[in-house]
Amino acid sequence: MRIAVLSDVHGNRVALEAVLVEIRRERPDAVLVAGDLVLHGPDPNGAIDALRVLESEGGLIVSRNTDIAVGDFDYGAAFPQYQDGVPEIVRVAAEWAHDELGDEQLEWLRRLPAERRLRAADDTLVLGVHASPGSQTRGFDQALDANVIFERAAATDARVICVGHTHIPEIRDLGWKIIVNAGSAGYVFDGDPTASWAMVAIDDGVVTAEVRRTEYDVLGVANAISERGLPGDVYRAATVRTGKLVR
């Protein structure tokens, strides 16, 4: 069984469509999309439309913290790290994305589950979730203590845990489990300004995974963000252009 995993599209339709071209060429058995679909990028409409087509083809999609911010303005749930309130530039971006989406698109975004599961023919359980099992915001950050990583991984019986959230692609083979962080198909932070995703292969209980990179019109997307003119867009555009978080 082969599973393509992508995450953190963040309204970057151009990057998403470039990734989907490569995924469809690969003809995997399943596609998992691990949330954060619309906030920050210039085309939340186009991103959702492309994802709905993918869903109609059998794609398994989850919605997570920034999607909650856009869909329902529940900033406390979406961004618990901000103890003194969510910054205005985040609120404005969420409100802009909300207003760009139609009622049908918003309802689609709201109905998406927090987690999706599937089983390979050999009964290997695969979990698709945004940050970590049972959490939309506690991710598998690279700087985490190993004990915390093991604790979070133990919160599911799944052998394969497919995530995003950190915007940095990484494969962690813990032996008893493998964590597949697809990075970001639209807003990556690892210094490589391409879209990242992952391919997982399961063969008779043996699990392997690799990170893939897809080129797209980075400058075109960065310029579209700059031209939008929201507070913080100069930093968002620089993040897309460089592949590094700029703020």
Summarised one tens digit per residue, pLDDT across range 73-99 is: 999 999 998 988 899 999 999 999 999
Structure-token match 């939008």, residue found = 228
Task: State yes or no: pLDDT of 64 exceeds 90.
Answer: no
Residue 203 — φ and ψ, nearest 5°? -135, 105
- Determine the Cα–Cα distance for residues 59 and 61; give it in Å rounded to an integer: 6
Predicted TM-score (pTM) of this structure: 0.95
CA distances from 6 to 13, 73, 80, 217, 244 (A): 13, 24, 24, 18, 18
- Determine the Cα–Cα distance for residues 80 and 85; give it in Å rounded to an integer: 9
Mean pLDDT, the chain, whole residue set: 96
- Determine the Cα–Cα distance for residues 154 and 129; give it in Å rounded to an integer: 14
Structure tokens at 54: 């993918």
CATH numbers and ranges of domains, the chain: 2-119+184-242 (3.60.21.10)
> Average pLDDT of 184-209?
97
pLDDT at site 99? 97
pLDDT at site 193? 98
pLDDT at site 31? 98
Helices (H), the chain: 13-26, 44-56, 65-72, 75-78, 88-100, 103-111, 146-153, 218-228, 233-242
Beta-bridge mates of residue 60: 32
Structure tokens at 142: 């690279």
Looking at residue 21, what DSSP letter applies? H
65 Cβ contact list (under 8 Å, min separation 6): 35, 36, 77, 78, 79, 130, 131, 136, 137
